[in-house]
Amino acid sequence: YEVQDNIAQGMSKLGPAITLDAIVQTLVFGVGTLSGWKQLETISYFACLSVLANYLALMTFYPACLALMLELCHGVIHEQPVSKLQFIMNKDGDEEQKSNPVIQVVKIIMEGISALSNKEIIELVKKKHIAGYQLEKVLGDFERGIDVRRGLIDENLTDKSVMEKLPFKNYDYSAVYGACCENVIGYIPVPVGVVGPLFMNSKDYYVPMATTEGCLVASTNRGCTALKKSGGVRSFLLSDGMTRGPVVRFPTAEECIFAKLTSLQANLAGRYLFIRFVATTGDAMGMNMLSKGVENALRVLKEKFPNMEIMSVSGNYCTDKKCAAINWVNGRGKSVVAEAVIPGKVVREVLKINVSALVDLNIAKNLVGSAMAGAQGGFNAHSANIVTAVYIATGQDPAENVSSSNCITLMETTGDNNSDLYISCTMPSLELGTVGGGTRLQPQAACLKMLGVEGPNKTPGKNAETFAQIVCSTVLAGELSLMSALAAGHLVKSHMQHNR
């Protein structure tokens, strides 16, 4: 504050003289206003006003400009380039002091808003001068924008160490901004394990799984080993069709029946008509794609049936991210089956159990037990574990796990003397894709590339089809291993040993 103090002292000494001079000049010119000559009076009035204006500028604007220029010159003298304004950017913790608005404006004019300190930018966000969700765009720096937002949140946290434990540096946010997440404050590192080789349809696959559940990867890997020793898995796509089910309303139930479309799956409840559109979507999961198409279709229907009221593009008849019998019965997304025959010797040596015990347990647990629980699509041991782990690793929407984990696991004795095991997993509603959404993020794209299904295929839908088969086959490996552990009584022991 030395500069400001010196100016203040100077003004205190010169101020009276400047004031007296202004008064004298005003009085002298004021005499002219009494001359009676109109032209002289006009000139005198303007002269008085100019003296007053000059006085106000000298006493207010001039000292402020002088203080600013001296601060800038001070920076140059100490070899701190004005272009960087580092003499203004405080290095000694003075950010706690209230920022000077004039200095802020100069910084913004000379270098843009990025020249401000994080503390100053936070103040601008608080005052609504900058939208908090646009920090990355305003600053032109993803990482710094996130750092500022973290500082803003950190001020409201009682435990200041929280943000220190949430990483945010060294991440490619360009693929996130405007596509995957808003108001970003960091990312969650999740351990990624790999199982394999999974020998499916005469080809080896190494399947990435992101999980924090101990034993899951190890158990699924054991299933892969058993399948490899048994000749592998055969997997087939049964059907492919993403759905969207809007709801519309008619004045009466009679009109609702009349308008029912025979080419689409439709059901009515009173005067509400629920229409289930089904379409293939290539290598994309396809929800956004289908939503756009359905909106256009509804507009056409509205022209044909003017009394129809379009209530929502989604009427929960799709059904998306909710447990629903319609997905279990009719399918949604990719409907896939995977099957394998495991020789009795492999069951005994690798899985440490016998075939008959596995078949009995599968009937009691996955079929009868699930039926007793009123399960809907849950006729399996833990398909959700594998589906979620693979989905997180490959950039899928983890919430789609609700329907995507629909699975029925069947086991039968087969072969000579019924000494071998036949196992199959049927999954009617795998909602996944290899383009769009989180698949554009580099780590997730790398996991898809590991599977050989990254991005779009020259044959539309082929990558997503193969990916669905891989997921279903991996679920089969997980089912085989967990059921064996349960039948042999190894589950609790392994979790106590590896998942403390």
What Cα–Cα distance (Å) separates residue 108 from each residue in 62, 89, 129, 428?
A: 21, 13, 13, 57
User: Which burial class, exposed, middle or buried, applies to 131 when counting CB atoms under 10 A from its CB (0-12, 13-18, 19+)?
Assistant: exposed
The token duo for 308 is 């129809």
Is 498 noted as a catalytic residue in this protein?
no
The whole-angstrom separation of Cα 105 and Cα 128 is: 16
The contacts of residue 345 (CB under 8 Å, 6+ apart) are none
The whole-angstrom separation of Cα 3 and Cα 65 is: 12
What Cα–Cα distance (Å) separates residue 303 from each residue in 104, 264, 300?
A: 57, 18, 5
Q: What is the DSSP pairing of strand 247-249 with strand 272-279?
A: antiparallel
Q: 421 forms bridges with which residues in the sheet?
A: 342, 413
Active-site pick, 397, 400, 454, 465: 397
Q: What are phi and psi of 314, to 5 degrees?
A: -125, 120
Of 439, 447, 18, 436, the residue nearest 196 (C-alpha)? 447
The whole-angstrom separation of Cα 185 and Cα 142 is: 10
Do 327 and 377 touch, CB atoms closer than 8 A? Answer: yes
Of 157, 99, 146, 89, the residue nearest 123 (C-alpha)? 99
Do 200 and 338 touch, CB atoms closer than 8 A? Answer: yes
Is 154 noted as a catalytic residue in this protein?
no
What Cα–Cα distance (Å) separates residue 65 from each residue in 3, 4, 12?
A: 12, 11, 17
Is 136 noted as a catalytic residue in this protein?
no
Is 303 noted as a catalytic residue in this protein?
no
Active-site pick, 95, 141, 213, 412: 213
Active-site pick, 137, 229, 321, 462: 321
Catalytic residues: 213, 321, 397, 495
